[in-house]
Amino acid sequence: MQTEVQRHAAASKARETLPAPDALLRLPQVLARVPVGRSTLWLWVRDGRFPKPIKLGPMTTAWRASDVAAWLEAAGRDAA
Q: What is the pLDDT of residues 15-72, one digit of tens each?
A: 555 667 689 999 999 999 999 999 999 999 999 999 999 999 999 999 999 999 999 9
- The model's pTM is 0.70
CA distance 42 to 19: 22
The CA-CA-CA angle for residues 58, 36, 10, to 5°, reads: 95
Q: Write out the DSSP string of 24-63.
A: EE-HHHHHHHS-S-HHHHHHHHHHTSSPPPEEEETTEEEE
- Torsion-angle region of residue 23: left (phi > 0), alpha (psi -120 to 50) or beta? beta
Fold of 20-79: Recoverin; domain 1 (1.10.238)
**Per-domain boundaries in the chain:** 20-79
- Report yes or no: 31 and 41 within 8 Å, Cβ to Cβ: yes
